[in-house]
Amino acid sequence: MNNKTIVFTGGGTGGHVYPALPIIELLQEKGFRICWIGSHTGIEKRIIAEWNLEYYSISTGKLRRYFSFKNFTDIFRIIAGLFQSIKLIKKINPAFVFSKGGFVSVPAVAAAWLLKIPSFTHDSDVVPGLATRINHRMTQNTFLAYHESRKYMKSHDDKIVISGNPVRSDFFNNEIPLPETWNKKLDGRPLLLILGGSSGAKQINLLVRECLDELTRHFTVIHQMGDELFQQEAEREHYHPVPYLNEELPALLQKADLALCRAGAGTLWELAVTETPGILIPLRVGSRGDQILNAEIVSQRGMALILEEKDMTPSGLLALIMKLYQDESLRKSMVENCRNFVNKKAEDVIVSYLLKES
């Protein structure tokens, strides 16, 4: 293939960016040049800078499912973003465009469609987002994480590929070394890893704080609190709060006896790949309900437990953690179910389709 350039697009949250990295790494190994089209101020701009990729900004407007005056003003931003995308894609002249979803991806995919350049999209959640459903009409293939997701796409069923979710290769390596500073903190005790996401989870932080005395009797607790919610002074014996975990996360998950976390799609697949028994507290307020459905899917498969709303108290959380920790047969069953769930690497599936186009 003469054209070795690919445009990626997506953003708004880390979940619309991070799963693209394993795909990008595979393509770079095959000699492809990767560019990214995102927003002027979104989280994707920071992440892509860390990956040392070419980044191009466009105007964006949010795609809302409810009435808001901003729906009218954002139309003009979306139109501006479309014309900017057309100009950029003409200039870059990629072999194809790959979308990871989020409202910023729609102008880029539409521009590719208008320019008769092939495009592809991937969605990580059980219920594909609105941007993915719009892009689906214009793509060559749409990659979905779950078989259950297919029913939410109203047309072009022949374009759908069930690929799973891409996960960084480090998470598949059960021999990855943990820095000695972390090994000293673990001190040979059972490890409870608490993950609130990059921005943290206030609800989880408050619940954990009320349980700490009892939790630290049984576990070494490593708690990702989020950059904005981080409290260094909270550190105490057997309790280690951190603002964010990145490079050390795969090794910590491999070592963890239990994980307590939200139910973002990326986190759930990282738990599955590392075969880590999990307790999920899905985000319920201020979301479209995707985490609730994500959690239900993995719970039904016997891979994790859900802390239900009626049990959303310190005592309810502590009871569920201790129930899972003390039930060795349940944890072994979860490990086996995780192993059976991840039977292929999503990035291999996706790249095999992309290379057909190249």
Annotated binding site: 13-15, 168, 198, 291
Residue set of the binding site for UDP-N-acetyl-alpha-D-glucosamine:
13-15, 168, 198, 291
Please say whether the dihedral angle defined by the alpha carbons of residues 65, 299, 284 and 204, taken in this order, is positive or negative.
negative
Q: Which helix (H) or strand (E) holds 331?
A: helix 328-341
What's the CA gap between 205 and 203, in Å, rounded? 5
What's the CA gap between 273 and 288, in Å, rounded? 26
Phi-psi region of 153 (alpha: psi -120 to 50; beta: other; left: phi over 0): beta
Are 178 and 251 a contacting pair, CB within 8 Å? yes
CA 68 from centroid of its chain's CA atoms: 28
Query: 261 in helix, strand or coil?
Result: strand
Give the CA distances from residue 40 to residues 24, 81, 83, 94, 216, in Å, rounded to whole numbers and listed in that order.
21, 11, 15, 21, 43
100-101-106 Cα angle (round to 5): 115
What's the CA gap between 10 and 3, in Å, rounded? 22
Are 243 and 223 a contacting pair, CB within 8 Å? no
Structure tokens, 347: 């990035």
* Phi, psi angles (nearest 5°) of residue 231: -130, 95
DSSP state of 236: B
* β-sheet bridge partners, residue 224: 195, 242
Residues 6+ positions from 346 with CB-CB distance below 8 Å: 22, 143, 145, 163, 164, 165, 166, 167
